[in-house]
Amino acid sequence: MLLRLTSSSSKRSSGPGENTFTKVHGMFIPFRQILVTAVAFAFAVTAGQVRAENSFSMVVIDPGHGGSDPGGIPSQIVPEKTVALDTALRLQTLLQRAGLRTVMTRSTDIFVPLSVRSAIADAEHDAIFVSIHYNASPRRSAHGIETYSDSNRGAVLAARIQQEIIDRVSTENRGTRSAEFYVLRKCRLPAVLVECGFLTNPTEAQLALTTAYREQIAEQIAAGIIEQRQFAFPSLAPTHRSGHLVHKNKKQRKIVDLEHAKPPFWAFCKFLGSYQILFPAFASS
């Protein structure tokens, strides 16, 4: 529609009433300039080329798990490492098409220690960090998509990505959450971790096995990232936590904020044996 407007304005300028247009030259040219600028802006926004002042030009893409670490829980059939890698590679293609530079923490089915993933992210500037995972739960009914962050800058990126996914993917919106995943906690870049659906849920596992679903997820994550480029990140604010309920498996650590985890819930989780309470004074980095 914007293109049609541009072409109609140029037709007018080359029309028969040349003297008339010369007379209003002073009025018409600025209007045309504004129109052309608006069209250029619209295309630049679409291509992800408009950048806010402290925005980014690179995305470090981190496909979860890999190699000897399949991800998820032992009982699940679809391995998380495989669908996470495929989704991440699709995201890489989409972002490169939009003019962004990308770095992958892994591009094949290999095991990459979390410390190496963090080091790869640390080596980059002018970048954001996006980790791609699929979720798992002992409850087969658990489903939906959620996006994690560990800082206020990550939180704004997480909100855009989550919204873009939910706008198009028909599933439960589990929202954005604060979490202390190792790769988020260690990352000084704006960082998010997207859980793209539950592989322990029969419906979502079947969806995750389709290329159409993985492409759709990648497209929506890319849309959120490209949109974020137009907005400045807030100044980095220190995170404040008085104590955390954490998974005993450090690789899979998720924090349940204290306000969501009342003491009876802690006791229950400790009884289950999977979680422990971690206070910052005792937390190793």
Nearer to Zn ion, 134 or 233 (CB): 134
CA angle 70, 76, 80 (to 5 degrees): 35
Contacts with Zn ion, 150-189, as mask; x by CB under 5 A: ----------------------------------------
Q: State the nearest-atom distance from the C-beta of 1 to Zn ion, in Å.
A: 42
Stretch near Zn ion under the rule CB under 5 A, chosen from 67-75, 91-99, 177-185, 253-261: 67-75
Q: Nearest-CB residue to Zn ion?
A: 133
65, 71 Cβ separation under 8 angstroms: yes
Nearer to Zn ion, 71 or 154 (CB): 71
Q: Can residue 79 be called a binding residue for Zn ion (CB under 5 A)?
A: no
Q: State the nearest-atom distance from the C-beta of 144 to Zn ion, in Å.
A: 15
Residue (of 172, 176, 151, 150) closest to 161 by Cα position: 176
Q: How far apart are CA 266 and CA 277, in angstroms?
A: 8
**What type of residue sits at position 3?**
L
Edge-to-edge order in the sheet of strand 275-278: 256-257, 244-247, 275-278
Q: Can residue 143 be called a binding residue for Zn ion (CB under 5 A)?
A: no
Q: How far apart are CA 143 and CA 187, in angstroms?
A: 28
Q: Is residue 246 classed as helix, strand or coil in its secondary structure? A: strand
Q: How far apart are CA 52 and CA 8, in angstroms?
A: 32
134, 168 Cβ separation under 8 angstroms: no
Q: Can residue 63 be called a binding residue for Zn ion (CB under 5 A)?
A: no
Stretch near Zn ion under the rule CB under 5 A, chosen from 125-133, 144-152, 167-175, 226-234: 125-133
Nearer to Zn ion, 84 or 156 (CB): 84
Stretch near Zn ion under the rule CB under 5 A, chosen from 7-15, 64-72, 151-159, 265-273: 64-72
Nearer to Zn ion, 185 or 229 (CB): 185
Contacts with Zn ion, 17-56, as mask; x by CB under 5 A: ----------------------------------------
Helix (H) or strand (E) run with residue 177 in it = strand 173-178
Stretch near Zn ion under the rule CB under 5 A, chosen from 60-68, 99-107, 152-160, 255-263: 60-68
Q: Can residue 66 be called a binding residue for Zn ion (CB under 5 A)?
A: no
CA distances from 170 to 2, 135, 173, 220 (A): 31, 16, 9, 12
Q: Can residue 197 be called a binding residue for Zn ion (CB under 5 A)?
A: no
Nearer to Zn ion, 51 or 251 (CB): 251
Region class of 205: left (phi > 0), else alpha (psi between -120 and 50), else beta: alpha
Instruction: Choose which of 48, 63, 71, 190 interacts with Zn ion (CB under 5 A).
Output: 71
Pair type for strands 275-278 and 244-247: antiparallel
48, 226 Cβ separation under 8 angstroms: yes
Nearer to Zn ion, 179 or 226 (CB): 179
The contact set with Zn ion (CB under 5 A) reads 64, 71, 133
